[in-house]
Amino acid sequence: MQLNRRTPPKALISLVPMIDVMLILLVFFMVTSTYLNLDMIPALRPSEGAASSAKPPQLRLMIRIQADGTSSLRGQPLSAPALTQRLQQALALDPETQLVILPSGSAPTQALISLMDAAATAGVQNMRVLRLEARP
């Protein structure tokens, strides 16, 4: 006598776990990616439109943010009131003064936000944040 057993059904391959992994990877890469700086893409050629008639700012201030969160201008440390006063003096000379902020790689983000807030309160409208990367 021979017993016949049913053959078990073949396992179906489900795509749901793969889709879950792909969504997690998509979110991870979106969060960790660096966004394109759109200022580096010219919208007009220099010979066209208002781009050629706009004068570049005459005065530029570069403020460095050290690893401990202190700001310095030309090597001199700045307190918050001194920074506001210096920015207001520069804006009195030239309203189109450009502020360039160079944070250290290990500077706290709060120091950068506080500096940008103080600059906006002082009336700075032309502000850039530079990020330098070491070459291998």
If one counts every other C-beta atom within 10 angstroms of the C-beta of residue 87, the result is: 23
Tokens standing for residue 74: 């030309």
Straight-line distance from the first to the last Cα atom of the chain, in angstroms, rounded to the nearest whole number: 76
Give pLDDT tens digits along the chain (136 positions).
787 888 888 878 888 999 999 999 999 988 887 766 555 555 545 555 544 455 555 678 888 888 888 888 888 888 888 888 888 888 888 888 888 888 888 888 888 888 888 888 888 888 888 876 655 5
Instruction: Tell me the HSE value of 66 on the side-chain side, using a 13 A CA sphere.
Output: 11
Nearest to 134 by CA among 113, 107, 105, 110: 105
